[in-house]
Every structure is written in C-alpha cells, then in structure tokens.
Structure 1
Amino acid sequence: NTLCAVMGGDAIFAGLKEHLGVENDGVTADGKVSLEHIECNAACDYAPVVMANWEFYDNQTVQSAKDLVDSMRSGNPKPPTRGPNKLVTWKEASAVLAGVNDGLANEGVQAGEPTLLGLKLSKEGK
C-alpha cells in the first residue's frame, strides 16, 4: 500500500527478494524462509513492518530485514518487536491461527506509544 511503500516497504521487499534469491511466494533453497508480499499488515503506526510467522518486526529497513532473515536461517532468530519474547515456529503460529491458546498473548510489548497516541489525544480532548 502507499504508506508502507513511501516508508520503505517496497525497497525492503525488493532487497529481500535479491538477498534471498526468490520472488514473491518463493521459498529459499534451504527451505527456511518463504517470502510473501502482503498488501497490509495493519501496522501503520510502526511502518514499515516485516512479519515472520505472524509476529511483528517494526520500523524495518532493508538492512534490518536482511539481518532478520539471516538470523532466522542461522537458527537464532531475533525476537519480535511486539508480542512474544521469542519468534515462534511456523508450526506454533499455525496452531494459534487454528485457535490453540499458546499462553503467549500477553507476553512482551503489545501496544506501544505510537499505537496508543490516538487514544491519549482523544482522552485529552484534542
């Protein structure tokens, strides 16, 4: 979408395609990373974001996104910027999407300052 594109989302996606050697909906030769373009992650307050196993990595750059996928491929993924304190596996994420409670819903940062700013201003009458 336009906001993420302006904020660097398109550059991140292009950089990851080149870095990983895959196109949209592609999977790396080692099978560890798949790349999918999603029109909107509903995370404008932290744009641009990258998601891994449906966990958020906020305020990304081309280099930080490359570092993220490299950490995933090495078996030592960086923790998400919101949500659980560690990146869950795709199997674990799939179970949650199917309705299994993994007990991680309240772990880590949930709604940060940018997310809550509108609520704060509303309460102040602005």
Structure 2
Amino acid sequence: MTPRASASPPAIDDIFRALSDPTRRDVVERLSAGQASVSDLAAPYRMALPSFVAHLRVLEGCGLVTSHKRGRVRTYSLAPQQLKFAEDWLGRQRKLWEARLDRLDAYLLKLKEEKPQ
C-alpha cells in the first residue's frame, strides 16, 4: 500500500467507494432536491427493501446522508459538507493535471518552433 500524498481525511476513500455505485449516486442526486423517506427513495428500484437499505447504510456510514426517524418513517437528507471533501480532492487533481498539460503544450510549441523547416 502506498502512503497518502496529501493530508486528506480517511473518509475520502469511503466517500468515493460509496459514490462508485450507480444506485447510491442516484440516491445522492435525488436527495439534492430535498429529503425523502426510505419508501420514496426505494420506489424506483427493482430490489428488495433490505438490499436498498444496505445502500442507504453505506451512504450514511460515510456521512453523505443523514437520517432521522419520526414514528415509523425514516427520512434521509443529503449532507453536502461531505461532498466538499470529494470536490476539494478532485479540484486539486484538476489543477495538477491542468498544470501538467500546460507544460506539455508549452514544450510541444517550443519543439514546433525549433523544428527546421
């Protein structure tokens, strides 16, 4: 295993792992419009409720969603502050690659200018 290059929180791995599943990404997108009950969230999927609840547990475990129970209804909400960790990491990667591509572009332009015609 390689050491971490930056001081990113250990939760970042869990966040990306949770977002690697299309069902969980869809749930996050749907919750961005507002909170929803388990039954509302599960309705579009053709899977057993316990299987769907396992997806919600993964999302809650990494902090992407929160839940509260009122009576018999459990409602989930998006926790956008956790998405900020992923956004920040992706932003750092983008800056790194943009800088590398800018250097490559400058190098290739230099080579083109130096090429004898």
Q: What TM-score does the superposition give when structure 2 sets the normalisation length? A: 0.26
Higher relative contact order, structure no. (Cα contacts within 8 Å, ≥ 6 residues apart):
2
Bigger Rg, structure 1 or 2: 2
- Greater fraction helix: 2
Q: What TM-score does the superposition give when structure 1 sets the normalisation length? A: 0.25
- Greater fraction strand: 2
